[in-house]
Amino acid sequence: MSILEIRVLGDPILREETTPVEHVTTELRTLVKNMFETMYLAKGIGLAAPQVGRSERLTVIDVDDNPIVVINPEIVSASSAKGKAEEGCLSIPDVYGDVERPSSVRVRALDLEGRPFELDATELLARCLQHEIDHLHGKLFIDYLSVLKRRSALSKWTKEKDKYPGFIRRLETDPSRSHEHPDEEL
């Protein structure tokens, strides 16, 4: 398995529409394994294909030790009840903001065998699914912030982004160095 590079804000792929998956190939299964490994190392609860430089409509999620592969997802219904909570993004490190979203959603997707399934999600899983499905349509959580909060988030990002030359975030795989700040690395 391999740890993948994570694309950060400014890389055009994060703003592109993805392409539906037509066949679940061996290469796609390897991508999924690598995405899970990368997500766990980054301490995320989700990771979408564009975040690792891929254009397939595919995301992996693990909320509460329940790994889920979500291929070609569609939100088939969303509650009118909404909730606001803080979100972060592995592609915009150290930037956070409160996002209001439907509290529960029903999602239809394909699994890694290419079989359709539906998932009713609430709380953090519902939020994570919506965040990841947004990634598959080129949308980021900062797009939901008010003008002032978005400006403040982007100003924080302006100070952070130089740590990621070429819009690439390389995760530290050596646990003895994981406490180090990226710009302290050799």
- Could you tell me the smallest distance in angstroms from the CB atom of residue 47 to Zn ion? 8
Q: Which amino acid is at 18?
A: T
Bridge partner list, 82: 102
42 neighbors 94 (Cβ within 8 angstroms): no
> Taking CB under 5 A as the rule, does residue 35 contact Zn ion?
no
Binding to ligand K1U in span 134-173, by CB under 6 A: 135
- Residues making up the chain, counted from first to last: 186
Site string for ligand K1U, 71-100 (x = CB under 6 A): ----------------xxxxx---------
Q: Which stretch binds ligand K1U (CB under 6 A): 105-113, 127-135, 154-162, 169-177?
A: 127-135
With CB under 6 A as the rule, give the number of residues binding ligand K1U: 15
Our answer to whether residue 118 is catalytic in this structure is no
> Taking CB under 6 A as the rule, does residue 54 contact ligand K1U?
no
> Taking CB under 5 A as the rule, does residue 99 contact Zn ion?
no
Considering the complex, state which of residue 116 and residue 124 has its C-beta at the smaller distance from ligand K1U. 124
Q: Which stretch binds ligand K1U (CB under 6 A): 8-16, 107-115, 123-131, 144-152?
A: 123-131
Q: Which candidate in 132, 160, 180, 185 is catalytic?
A: 132
14 binding partner (options ligand K1U, Zn ion, none; Cβ < 5 to 8 Å by kind):
none
At CB < 8 A and 24+ separation, what contacts does 31-36 make?
31/56, 31/58, 32/58, 32/60, 32/69, 32/112, 33/1, 34/1, 34/2, 34/3, 34/4, 35/4, 35/60, 36/60, 36/62, 36/67
82 neighbors 45 (Cβ within 8 angstroms): no
96 neighbors 53 (Cβ within 8 angstroms): no
The set of catalytic residues is 132
Residues lying near Zn ion in the complex (CB under 5 A):
89
